[in-house]
Chains A and B, each alone.
Chain A
Amino acid sequence: MQPQRYWREIPRRYRLEAGKCRKCGKVFMPPRLICDACRCTEFDMVRLSDKGKVHTYTVIRIAPSGFGEQVPFVLALVDLEGGVRLTMQVADCGPEDVKIGSPVKVEFRKINEVGKSGVICYGYKAVLA
């Protein structure tokens, strides 16, 4: 992955920085340039809550490239407090431990190592709360 492609996503991935529509208050992660609810183009930066619940989940057993050493791992859609839903792994748990509705906390974690040089990528993962 080229540095610029990784670098520009850091505010979202490291700090959960989202965009909140100035007119209707809808929150977008990642931030957008136009609100799909009211067409407003002005946003404020807000930090998403690190608390949420599992909306749905699966156990990935055949991993995509770069995740081979992690299988099996739980992947979930997490509803964060405040109304934003995100795709993330649920870490530090077994395949049987996650259920729909499980409360989780979002943490800053290593995602994987990519490329021949093994550059470490970071981002957000959930852990059971």
Chain B
Amino acid sequence: MRDVAVIGVGINKWGEHWKTSLRDLAVEAALKALEDAKVDAVDSIQIGCMSGGLFAGQEHLASLVADYLGCAGVPASRVESACASGGVAFKAAYAEVAAGLSDAALVLGVEKMTDVGGDEATYTLGTAADQEYECYNGATFPGLYAMMAVRHMHEFGTTRRQLSMVAVKNHDNGLKNPDAQYHAKLTPEEVERSSMVADPLHLLDCSPITDGAAALVLCPLDRAKKLSGHPLVKVLGVGHATDAIALHSRKNLVRLDAVEKAAARAYKAAGVKPSDIDLAEVHDCFTIAEIMVTEALGFAKPGEGGKLAASGATALGGKIPVNTSGGLKSKGHPVGATGVAQILELVQQLRGEAGGRQVRKAKVGLAQNMGGTGGSSTVSILGKA
């Protein structure tokens, strides 16, 4: 296995991009990443996209994007693992480069979500759950996470206010990220006054519908030393795991087994432990998700993720800043792009290019991406080379 570096990153502001098509969203981000990396050709492309078909009526996306990127002929694959598509695409590109199959690999994440109405978007996101045994009976994603939250509150005493503090903190961080969808300071009272979606989750506990893309260029570390003008960022370890996608098939609703397994694999590969992590991007599709993920990653003991969030330890300047980018909550959640943008945030932080949200002396960062209610997860650890 060769050591792998991330040498280029590209993103445009996320939001509702009515003028921009799925293919152009992807190509814009890719061109920025190639320019940032100072390379004009890649050996392979991996695209994370949950549902080009249902959101935009377009499959066969990998070839389409390769063509519009002006590099038809290059092998390109689309990777799908619901909201973890981006994280799994990153893993695929990492493996390509580590194994010697590619000397430069492009990773793209993209989702065009506003070409359909709210009902269709909810339906499409619901395809990440068990269609026949969850959605058939009226389940929605907010509903499934709400049932996890109810159980977490019941078993550990997690409070409504602790959920709110996740949203407040991530929106604070989003104010400092020019690429975030929302730049709005929130109070916990505003979160709790927003309309109820699925008890106890309010609208402001939920990540939004977003159009967006993000891109990375990976190459062997040895080559990166010659190519890149940026401080070098190395991939230290990648972990990936699966679990039942139906919530009712899980052994335990208050633990995220796939995240725990992916984290254990990533920590082992990287040779680091939770206390070595300087910042983390985690999958806060709902506020309860960030609380449960921080437990699964070992930043808090099981059941104490709510206390961690309320303590300020996960805020900028805290012991372990979480979602400095604004997270899915504030930066937005174009599902297939999310996992790639998490890595991009780590790279910007480790290069020291994160502007007003820079974590001081950041040496090691972790990104956790999750599909469905935890049916899949990746954990990637990057460090200053």
Q: Answer yes or no: do A and B interact.
A: yes
Contact surface of A with B, Cβ cutoff 8 Å: 9, 13, 29-30, 55-65, 67, 70, 73, 75-77, 85-89, 95, 100, 111-112, 121, 123-125
Residues B134 and A58 in contact, CB atoms below 8 Å apart: no
Residues A56 and B122 in contact, CB atoms below 8 Å apart: no
Q: Known pairs A62-B140, A100-B150, A123-B136. 15 more at Cβ < 8 A?
A: A9-B136, A29-B133, A56-B151, A59-B199, A60-B138, A61-B199, A62-B142, A64-B135, A64-B140, A65-B119, A87-B139, A95-B199, A100-B151, A100-B154, A111-B138
Q: How far is the CA of A75 from the CA of B139 in the complex (A)?
A: 7
| Dominant SS among interface residues on chain B | helix
Task: Count B interface residues, CB 8 Å.
Answer: 35
13 contacts between A and B (CB under 8 A): A58-B150, A58-B199, A61-B195, A64-B122, A70-B138, A75-B139, A75-B143, A87-B130, A87-B134, A87-B137, A89-B138, A100-B150, A123-B136
Shortest 8 CB-CB contacts between residues of A and residues of B: A58-B146, A59-B199, A56-B151, A56-B147, A85-B248, A65-B119, A58-B198, A56-B150
Output the least CB separation between B18 and chain A (Å): 23
Q: How far is the CA of A123 from the CA of B137 in the complex (A)?
A: 8
Residues B154 and A58 in contact, CB atoms below 8 Å apart: no
Asked if B72 is at the interface (CB within 8 A of a chain A CB), the reply is no
Asked if B209 is at the interface (CB within 8 A of a chain A CB), the reply is no
Q: How far is the CA of A77 from the CA of B373 in the complex (A)?
A: 14
Output the least CB separation between B179 and chain A (Å): 28
Asked if B247 is at the interface (CB within 8 A of a chain A CB), the reply is yes
Q: How far is the CA of A58 from the CA of B126 in the complex (A)?
A: 17
Known contacts A64-B126, A65-B122: A87-B248 contact under CB 8 Å: yes
CB-CB under 8 A from A95, the residues of chain B are: 199
Q: How far is the CA of A59 from the CA of B147 in the complex (A)?
A: 9
Q: How far is the CA of A44 from the CA of B198 in the complex (A)?
A: 38
